[in-house]
Amino acid sequence: MSKRVDVKTKSPAELEELCSDIRDKILKVVSKNGGHLSSTLGATEIIVAMHKVFDSQKDPFIFDVSHQAYAHKLLTGRWDEFETLRQFNGICGYTKPSESSDDYFVAGHSSTSISLGVGAAKAIALKGEEDSRIPVVLIGDGSMTAGMVYEALNELGDRKYPMIIILNDNEMSISKPIGAMSRILSSAMASPLYQRFKRNTESFVDNFGDGARYLAKRMEESLKLITPGVLFEEMGIDYIGPVDGHNLTQLIDIMQTAKSLKKPVLIHAQTLKGKGYEIAEGHEEKWHGVGPFDIKDGHSLKKASLKSATQIYTESLLHLCEHNDKIVGVTAAMPSGTGLSPLMEKYPNRFWDVAIAEQHAVTSMSALAKEGFKPFCTIYSTFLQRAYDQVIHDACIMDLPIVFALDRAGIVGEDGETHQGVFDVSFLRAIPNMTLFAPRDEKSFHQAMAFAAEYEHPCSLRYPRGSFIESALPESAVFELAKAQLLVENDSNILFIGYGNGVGRAYETAKELDEKVALLDLRFVKPLDEEMLKTLAQKHKKWFVFSDTAKSGGVGSAILEFLAKEKIMDISVESFEYDDAFITHGNTKVIEESLALLPIQLAQRVKASIL
């Protein structure tokens, strides 16, 4: 590891220079490797101030989502290693305790930080360490849209544990400061003089009974009404702000004051997305997360590729909407990533972004389904995990015709463990009334969407990040419930069973073999095409399963359960799904190679199995 940056001994001028160096480093590495950019550039001064005032070796530094924690990584012994950001065996794009003891917790999904802070504060109190440790939370304004934040704030305000919450507001989504008076009052409320005055006044009015306390309270509330922090104050959390999130000296002073209060304090800091890189400055969504780009002009260096599965989904859904005005849809803060932006533009009254609120997304669509509409819940596979109760309780128990369109199913690459979309088949297959299916290519995707639009029960279709694996296979047949498609039929003892993107992988693997193999596009993993499988079991005795899903509870498990139920005992089944372990970050092909899942590696595994 590189040497830690000693922030505490640096002068204000040296700290300003350090912020500039950090931005240059982040920009150079992200332009080469890809990663999160605009938010993390904007948070630079906040993070430097955090390290100046607090100690990440003992104070829990908790970053929400943690995509804005790059400056923290650079300050805590990872300056040289930062060149490997998001690369296989390199620095993770999120906080990761196994990477550094300065990273308090794994984070990749949003809105968990304040809950973690409350838990850490409880532990600190139980250990009697309140005088030497305090949780410090950095949360972005986008994360404030999830209900979990307010559950945590509710308890924190009641229990009054010492804790610092820094709200990085780079979109002014919480509230806009009301003129010069607001800024003056915010600065005044952050000063040690005001805090001493407040404490002394509280003590003084206590001696004069309820009348004096009432008048003092009304006066303070009158001041708060022209500041944006009334919500937090009403919840029992001291509010300071809004403050300039790029004024390093002011940030340090305010954090020192907040630390001395020994109570829960929220510091509302306003920052500029992309600060320091003019092309990215502002609110453009495209600079939130980026691939490699040319620093000079901001142009992407990513080579043109095949049409992505997300693009196919968008085209298909637009076509369906033109012929069915009952189709509606929702996404949770990912309109661009899920391809729903064109739908929201064309049909603003039928498609919604509900912010980071997957639970609300599913339940609200359940009511629309109850009212006769056809909702498409368009959510990344990894994020549907957050709405599992709602899928069961609100969609499936009611047997409502909701389509769960799961983007980025399978390995997603550089985002790593928290984002790999490998569990959806395992956790959805167990739910009654749920139907699961997957397309293998562009034609079958359109057919799967047409089936989904007419299906009258809950269903889920999954598709990969990027493009499908190309294959020169027979054209896809029309999707029918629980009907597989036999793509290659012969007298071979070997049967390859592909599901979704696994069909292309199975085909590529077959090309690496000298032996003939039969190939089945399973299409539906729930319900299975049992008649087809019974027929194939009479001829092919060695089955190999190809799917971008977890092995535990996955496609292979479904097939083994079927064989056991039917008491078919002479079939051997080997699954090439993902083993029972979290999958690290890195280039998708490199990860697949490390898991022995490239076609040439799979062919070797097949050969070894049939010997």
Task: Indicate the Cα dihedral angle 566, 571, 572, 578, nearest 10°.
Answer: -50
Fold observed for domain 309-462: Rossmann fold (3.40.50)
Q: Which of 275, 386, 523, 551 is catalytic?
A: 386
Give the pLDDT score at 127.
97
Give the pLDDT score at 128.
97
What band does 472 get if pLDDT is binned at 50, 70 and 90?
confident
Please, are residues 263 and 160 in contact by the beta-carbon 8 Å criterion?
yes
* Encoded tokens for 542: 């060695």
φ and ψ of 133, to 5 deg: -140, 145
Mean pLDDT of 59-70: 94
Mean pLDDT of 27-50: 94
What band does 213 get if pLDDT is binned at 50, 70 and 90?
low
Per-residue pLDDT for 2 more than 80? no
φ and ψ of 314, to 5 deg: -60, -50
Q: Which of 273, 462, 465, 526 is catalytic?
A: 273
Higher-pLDDT residue of 560 and 218 is 560
Per-residue pLDDT for 209 more than 50? yes
d(CA 190, CA 350): 44
Mean pLDDT of 205-224: 56
Per-residue pLDDT for 464 more than 90? yes
Give the pLDDT score at 398.
98
Q: Where in the chain is the domain with CATH 3.40.50.970?
A: 12-177+228-290, 309-462
Per-residue pLDDT for 423 more than 60? yes
Which of these, 575, 583, 581, 582, lies nearest to 602 by C-alpha position?
Answer: 575
What band does 164 get if pLDDT is binned at 50, 70 and 90?
very high
Mean pLDDT of 220-233: 63
Secondary structure (3-state) at 174: coil
Give the pLDDT score at 185.
44
φ and ψ of 578, to 5 deg: -80, 135
- Give the position of tokens 């097939």: 559
Question: In percent, how much of the chain has pLDDT > 70?
Answer: 90
> What digits encode the pLDDT tens for the residues 301-349?
877 678 999 999 999 999 999 999 999 999 999 999 999 999 999 999 9
Least-confidence region, from 3-17, 148-162, 208-222: 208-222
Question: In percent, how much of the chain has pLDDT > 90?
Answer: 78
What band does 297 get if pLDDT is binned at 50, 70 and 90?
confident
What band does 392 get if pLDDT is binned at 50, 70 and 90?
very high
The torsion region of residue 298 among left (phi > 0), alpha (psi -120 to 50) and beta comes to: left
What band does 1 get if pLDDT is binned at 50, 70 and 90?
low
Fold observed for domain 485-610: Rossmann fold (3.40.50)
> What digits encode the pLDDT tens for the residues 516-535?
999 999 999 999 999 999 99
Residue ranges of alpha helices (H) inside 207-277 are 209-224, 230-234, 248-260
Which of these, 486, 511, 334, lies nearest to 412 by C-alpha position?
Answer: 334
d(CA 35, CA 7): 25
Per-residue pLDDT for 177 more than 80? no
> What digits encode the pLDDT tens for the residues 539-576?
999 999 999 999 999 999 999 999 999 999 999 999 99
Q: Which of 358, 442, 508, 577 is catalytic?
A: 358
The whole-chain average pLDDT of the chain stands at 91
d(CA 330, CA 592): 32
Give the pLDDT score at 174.
39
pTM for this prediction: 0.89
Residue 273 annotated among the catalytic residues of the structure: yes
What CATH number belongs to 12-177+228-290?
A: 3.40.50.970
Residue 386 annotated among the catalytic residues of the structure: yes
Mean pLDDT of 113-122: 97
Give the pLDDT score at 231.
83
Q: Where in the chain is the domain with CATH 3.40.50.920?
A: 485-610
φ and ψ of 249, to 5 deg: -60, -45
Per-residue pLDDT for 136 more than 90? yes
